[in-house]
Amino acid sequence: MSRWEPGARERLVVAAVDLFTEQGYDATTVAQIAERAGVTKSTFFRHFPDKRELLVAGQETLSRLLTEGIAEAPGDASPLEAVAAGLERASTAMGQATRELAPRLKAAIAASAELQERDTLKTVSLAAAMTAALVARGVPDPIAALAGELGVLAFKRGYAEWAEGDRGDRGAEGERGAEDDGGAEQELAGYVLAALDELRAASASLG
Contacts of 75 (CB under 8 A, 6+ apart): none
Q: Angle 193-197-201 (CA atoms, 0-180°, nearest 5)? A: 170
DSSP string, 8-70: HHHHHHHHHHHHHHHH-STT--HHHHHHHHTS-HHHHHHH-SSHHHHHTTHHHHHHHHHHHHH
Q: Does residue 202 bind its own copies (CB under 8 A)?
A: yes
Contacts of 63 (CB under 8 A, 6+ apart): 125, 126, 129
Number of residues counted as binding its own copies (CB under 8 A): 29
Query: Which one of 80, 133, 184, 192 is in contact with its own copies (CB under 8 A)?
Result: 80
Only segment of 46-54, 75-83, 87-95, 103-111 that touches its own copies (CB under 8 A):
75-83
Nearer to its own copies, 78 or 186 (CB): 78
Nearer to its own copies, 74 or 169 (CB): 74
Q: For residues 133 and 152, is the Cβ–Cβ distance under 8 A?
A: no
Rounded to 5 degrees, φ, ψ at 140 are -60, 150
Nearer to its own copies, 13 or 83 (CB): 83
Q: Does residue 136 bind its own copies (CB under 8 A)?
A: no
Q: Does residue 74 bind its own copies (CB under 8 A)?
A: no
**Residue 203: how many CB atoms within 10 A of its CB?**
11
Q: Does residue 200 bind its own copies (CB under 8 A)?
A: yes
Report in angstroms how near the CB of residue 25 gets to its own copies at its nearest: 17
Report in angstroms how near the CB of residue 2 gets to its own copies at its nearest: 28
Only segment of 5-13, 118-126, 165-173, 182-190 that touches its own copies (CB under 8 A):
118-126
CA distances to 5, 60, 62, 92 from 46, rounded to whole Å, are 10, 16, 20, 27
Query: Which one of 62, 145, 169, 172 is in contact with its own copies (CB under 8 A)?
Result: 145
Binding site for its own copies (CB under 8 A): 77-81, 117, 120-121, 123-124, 140, 142-143, 145-147, 149-150, 153, 157, 198-203, 205-207
